[in-house]
């Protein structure tokens, strides 16, 4: 705990254009929890390197992700928004925690299995130890709560296991973090294959709504969304396409499933898809407008990056020094 407030930690990889899934599953919760907690948000650029990146594009994308955090409503003067690679303590603690993590535990990670299948030509050790770096991110800041989408729950579990194992040997060093998964939008599915999650690395661009898609593109993608047989708007197990659209509509309008079923009673899929598209456009429009403004405010963003790097380093180093001392590493001579 930092002063009165508990600590929140989260972040995203700079691996592609953010999707509606990233927004509804994670970022929207960050904004809603923002006042209640002392918040740290990382641009996870070290994690992004587990997949090959083109340097110039990567640099641009990471900066754009930083700006998007701000555009989505996180004030960089009140929240510590920073680049993971600017705080060396992440990589250092990750090494130390590697020595407290078992191969068997990492072998069970479904994200590792999925990503190795997808990048069969580049199954690197970083992909395997990805969760250890994530544990380091969270534990360095003594986070109490970590808002993520459901797909990250397994990584949160291993973080807790590593922290508990360490604390058991060395005393109370780390706060044991809790995951925070929102009630709606925790898993937004692909618009083309509604049994798969919407993902920013999906090759089919019609499957995802990107946060910076213009209104026409958004409406067009919803019109083309794969739906199920029949024509009723009902939240039923055998209708994954309609369920996904209803979930998105709930997350963007606050309407319950019953209200939606009533609103579209006797109306067809076409009308419903258009309404979902319009609801999404109205949620994304203010973020897009703010993003355009912020792109012109380069020196403001630069100054925020600098100040927050220092703040993050201060907190992270405090934990790192404590861990080093507990482990018996020789202390620095000043």
The answer to the question of residue 11 lying near ligand LTN (CB under 6 A) is yes
Alpha helices in the chain (DSSP H): 20-22, 28-33, 45-48, 55-71, 89-98, 103-107, 110-118, 125-140, 153-170, 215-223, 240-253, 257-263, 269-295, 298-327
Does 137 interact with ligand LTN (rule: CB under 6 A)?
yes
DSSP-assigned letter for residue 86: G
Could you give the CA distance from residue 88 to residue 57 in angstroms, rounded to a whole number?
23
- Among ligand ATP, ligand LTN, none, what does residue 25 contact (CB within 5–8 Å per kind)? ligand ATP
Minimum distance, C-beta of residue 42 to ligand LTN, in the bound complex (Å): 6
Residue 172 CB neighbours (<10 A): 9
Residue of 152, 192, 252, 253 that binds ligand ATP (CB under 6 A): 152
Residue 134 touching ligand LTN (CB under 6 A): yes
Beta bridge pairs of residue 7 = 38
Whether 200 is catalytic: yes
Which stretch, 156-164, 169-177, 194-202, 292-300, contacts ligand ATP (CB under 6 A)? 194-202
Please give, one letter per residue, the 3-state secondary structure of 184-227. CCCCCECCCCCCCECCCCCCCHHHCCECCCCHHHHHHHHHCCCC
| Stretch of residues binding ligand LTN (CB under 6 A), selected from 130-138, 182-190, 194-202, 293-301 | 130-138
Catalytic residue among 115, 221, 239, 273: 115
- Tell me how far apart the alpha carbons of residues 285 and 253 are, in angstroms, rounded to a whole number: 14
Task: Answer yes or no whether residue 10 interacts with ligand LTN by CB under 6 A.
Answer: yes
Tell me which residues touch ligand LTN (CB under 6 A): 9-13, 44, 47, 134, 137-138, 146, 148, 152, 155
Tell me which residues touch ligand ATP (CB under 6 A): 12-13, 15-16, 19, 21-22, 25-26, 148-149, 151-152, 186-188, 197-201
Instruction: Catalogue the active-site residues.
Output: 115, 197, 200
């Amino acid at each position: 705990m930092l002063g009165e407030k508990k600590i929140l930690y989260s972040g995203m990889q700079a691996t592609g254009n953010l999707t509606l899934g990233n927004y509804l599953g994670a970022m929207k919760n960050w904004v809603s929890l923002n006042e209640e907690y002392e918040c740290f948000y990382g641009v996870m650029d070290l994690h992004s390197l587990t997949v090959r990146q083109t340097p110039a594009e990567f640099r641009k994308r990471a900066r754009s992700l930083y700006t998007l955090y701000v555009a989505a409503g996180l004030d960089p003067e009140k929240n510590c928004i920073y680049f993971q690679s600017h705080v060396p303590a992440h990589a250092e603690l990750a090494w130390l925690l590697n020595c407290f993590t078992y191969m068997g535990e990492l072998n069970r990670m479904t994200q590792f299995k999925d990503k190795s299948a997808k990048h069969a030509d580049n199954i690197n050790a970083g992909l395997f130890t990805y969760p250890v770096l994530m544990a380091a991110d969270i534990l360095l800041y003594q986070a109490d709560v970590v808002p993520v989408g459901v797909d990250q729950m397994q990584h949160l579990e291993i973080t807790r296991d590593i922290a508990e194992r360490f604390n058991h040997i060395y005393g109370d060093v780390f706060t044991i973090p809790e995951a925070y998964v929102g009630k709606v939008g925790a898993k937004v599915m692909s618009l083309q294959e509604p049994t798969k999650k919407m993902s920013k690395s999906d090759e089919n661009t019609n499957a995802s709504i990107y946060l910076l898609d213009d209104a026409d593109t958004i409406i067009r993608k919803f019109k083309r969304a794969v739906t199920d047989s029949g024509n009723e708007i009902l939240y039923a197990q055998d209708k994954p396409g309609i369920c996904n659209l209803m979930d998105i509509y709930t997350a963007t309008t606050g309407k319950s499933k019953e209200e939606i079923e009533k609103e579209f009673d006797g109306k067809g899929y076409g009308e419903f898809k258009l309404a979902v598209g319009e609801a999404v456009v109205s949620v994304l429009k203010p973020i897009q407008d703010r993003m355009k403004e912020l792109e012109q405010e380069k020196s403001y963003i630069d100054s925020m990056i600098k100040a927050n790097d220092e703040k993050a380093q201060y907190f992270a180093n405090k934990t790192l020094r404590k861990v080093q001392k507990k482990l018996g590493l020789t202390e620095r001579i000043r």
